[in-house]
A = this chain, B = another copy of it.
Amino acid sequence: MWEWLQGSALVHDDLMDASDTRRGRPSVHRAFEHLHRDELRVGDAAGFGSGTAILLGDLMLSWSDEMLRHAATIDPDLASGPGAARLAAAFAVLDRCKTEVTFGQYLDVVAQTRAEVDAEAAMLVVTFKTAKYTIERPLHLGAVLGGADDDLLARLSAVAMPLGAAFQLRDDVLGVFGDPATTGKPAGDDLREGKRTLLVARALARLSGDDAAHLTEVLGTVDGVEAAADLVRSSGALEDVEGEIGRYAAEATDALAALPPVARETLAPLIDRAVRRDR
């Protein structure tokens, strides 16, 4: 069920970012655009691609809800009594999550309209778009279905939020310096899209006035990707962000101690994966 919700956000996000690929394959709007060019030919291929991507995202968003609703037909324990209360709690998490991710994406869209790159704004996007939506809320959803109380939810948040930050910062680093063969995205993809990431914010804060102006100028241009990557590297921001990733991962690892063994064993490898540089 979470796959549908995540799929919906990714399909719409790729369309909003005009991303050509997702995990090395064409993004949905591009795939339908290609289908139109190859098979349909009449009308506007880009419009067909974006229209179908909007509708597919809507359908997946609707179906994520519908699937959770069907949980009670799959598991009769959820149909009444304490089980029904757990399912209601799961819907409260899902509702909150859907609103949070949309606001996170909106903050991201707004950040792209600013000339300056604001580290605080970038971190807020990380909080809503990655930490809460990708990690905290899915954990909460599973936990409340299993009958977790508020205290356990808070202890899951204490792992999820720093893990989400580490995960996104690793993603920022890979978006600039990652190997396309591993990431499935073109090298320097975030720079080409002009994304206002925390890595870029740290680089701009460290660079001299002229270099910072140069980075701002080439950010979001196709020709300036290499120059932008060189500036980010020479600024020392990469070391800053690697340090932050390490600190967030350590914070998440410390918080693991307060969780039941099964949760510790499931989450520890995710933390390892977030800090690794070759993901």
**Best-buried of A62, A65, A95, A114 by chain B (most CB within 10 Å):** A62
Stretch in A10-18, A184-192, A250-258 with 4+ CB within 8 Å of B: A10-18
**Best-buried of A36, A52, A91, A109 by chain B (most CB within 10 Å):** A109
With contact pairs A61-B62, A62-B102, A91-B69 given, residues A113 and B55 touching in the complex (Cβ less than 8 Å): no
| Cross-interface CB contact of A8 among B43, B47, B58, B98, cutoff 8 Å | B58
Which positions 83-133 of chain A face chain B at CB distance < 8 Å?
Answer: 91, 95, 98-99, 102, 105-106, 109, 112-115
- Say whether A59 faces chain B, with CB atoms less than 8 Å apart: yes
B114 touches A52 (CB 8 A): no
With contact pairs A16-B50, A113-B40 given, residues A55 and B105 touching in the complex (Cβ less than 8 Å): yes
- Say whether A42 faces chain B, with CB atoms less than 8 Å apart: yes
With contact pairs A18-B47, A42-B113, A113-B36 given, residues A106 and B55 touching in the complex (Cβ less than 8 Å): yes
Determine the distance from Cα of A42 to Cα of B114 in the docked complex, in whole angstroms.
6
From residue A50, how far is it (CB to closest CB) to chain B in Å? 7
With contact pairs A51-B16, A109-B51, A109-B52 given, residues A102 and B58 touching in the complex (Cβ less than 8 Å): yes
- Say whether A78 faces chain B, with CB atoms less than 8 Å apart: no
Copies of the protein in its oligomer: 2
Which positions 19-62 of chain A face chain B at CB distance < 8 Å?
Answer: 36, 40-43, 47-48, 50-52, 54-55, 57-59, 61-62
- Say whether A150 faces chain B, with CB atoms less than 8 Å apart: no
A69 touches B95 (CB 8 A): yes
Determine the distance from Cα of A57 to Cα of B61 in the docked complex, in whole angstroms.
11
- Say whether A272 faces chain B, with CB atoms less than 8 Å apart: no
With contact pairs A54-B12, A55-B105 given, residues A62 and B113 touching in the complex (Cβ less than 8 Å): no
Q: When each residue 239-264 of chain A gets 1 if its CB lies under 8 Å from chain B and 0 otherwise, what string results?
A: 00000000000000000000000000
Determine the distance from Cα of A40 to Cα of B62 in the docked complex, in whole angstroms.
33
Residues of A within 8 A of B (CB): 8, 12, 15-16, 18, 36, 40-43, 47-48, 50-52, 54-55, 57-59, 61-63, 65-66, 69, 91, 95, 98-99, 102, 105-106, 109, 112-115, 194, 220
